[in-house]
Amino acid sequence: MDLRRFCSQSRVVIVAGKGGVGKTTVTAALALAATRAGLSVLIAEVEGKSGLSAAFGAEPLGYDAVTLAPGVRARALAPDAALVDYLVSHGMRRISKRLAASGALDVVATAVPGMKDILVLGKVKSLEQDRDADLIIVDAPAAGHAVSFLLAARGLLDAVKVGPVRKQAMEVAELLGDPARCEVMLVTLPEETPVRELVETAFAIEDRAGVALGPVVVNGCVAALGATVPAGPEELMAEADAGGHFLSPREATDLIDAARFRDHRHTMQHEQLQVLADRLPLPQLRLPFMFTATLGPSEIEVLADELVRAIEAL
């Protein structure tokens, strides 16, 4: 598939997944991939984490947008700041200042169940309507909260019958229900528990929230070795000696153990990838496991390269 067409299918992409599967990393890689198609990108971080800014080697994000890379801006969307923004944009600047001075903002933002989520999603909706960027990527809450996050608009429509809150909820529901405007990209690891939870989350999002699902990103895939593991240390030591290298028995044993572990992990991951394909008929975009202690700008560039290749192979 053409990269630009893929990145232009929906103006808002909500990246979600179980905690620890690397959805923030995928968010960063997708943003870089989109810029390579000539698109401007805005990333909205909704949980106040530092992972996104660290991936780009930048300072922690605030409410105002900052540039993380050429073509990529990002901002953190906190409910209280979104509420102030909403009040100011509707001619209530004086009220917003009084609320901020009294410390009542957080009380207002949490007065109704789902209000915090609708404030954040309402800001995303405004950014999308204002065409603030060609593509808006939302680094969503972990899978458990992601479903309630996406259901907030429907819940408020049932609870609130008139007024600005209902209007905001209705407009957010329209955004989430339009595949040309919004879709969810789920992220998982090729392991049993994350795969099972992703399948459950996918059905909940599609059936209960009514939001379109894009391809699934499978993060941390270990490639096959592409070679037969030696039967024992003596065989590996002989191969090394023939190539003009020296291996001690301990080094040879450790290398064989590492190769067998990797081979076993690749086999187990392949089984889970098949389980995922059987249970959830969505295209898979597979990203490699990065053998590094931390993920910074250079690693994100590598993952963006791999994501572009996976997209073009769809």
Answer whether residue 262 is part of any domain.
no
- Asked whether 255 and 187 are in contact (CB, 8 A), the reply is no
* 16-37 confidence digits (pLDDT tens): 998 889 999 999 999 999 999 9
Query: What's the pLDDT score for residue 92?
Result: 54
Indicate whether 259 belongs to any domain.
no
| Contact assessment for residue 160 and residue 167, using Cβ atoms and an 8 Å cutoff | no
In a domain, 251, yes or no: no
Asked if the structure places residue 298 within a domain, the reply is yes
Is 193 inside a domain boundary? yes
Domain presence at residue 35: yes
Could you read off the pLDDT of 42-51 as tens digits, one per residue? 999 987 666 8
pLDDT in tens, 244-253: 888 899 999 9
* 296 is a domain residue: yes
Say how many domains are in the chain.
1
| Higher pLDDT among residues 115 and 236, named by residue | 236
Residue pair 77/140 in contact by the 8 Å Cβ criterion: no
For residue 90, tell me if it sits in a domain. Answer: yes
| Alpha carbon distance 83, 119 (integer Å) | 6
Give me the half-sphere count of Cα atoms (radius 13 Å) on the Cβ side of residue 261.
6
Domain CATH number, residue 103: 3.40.50.300
What are the distances in angstroms from CA 289 to CA 129, 265, 272, 303?
37, 11, 15, 9
Query: pLDDT for 183-220, tens place per residue?
Result: 999 999 999 999 999 999 999 998 888 899 999 999 99
Can you give the residue range of the structural domain that contains 75? 3-222+281-312
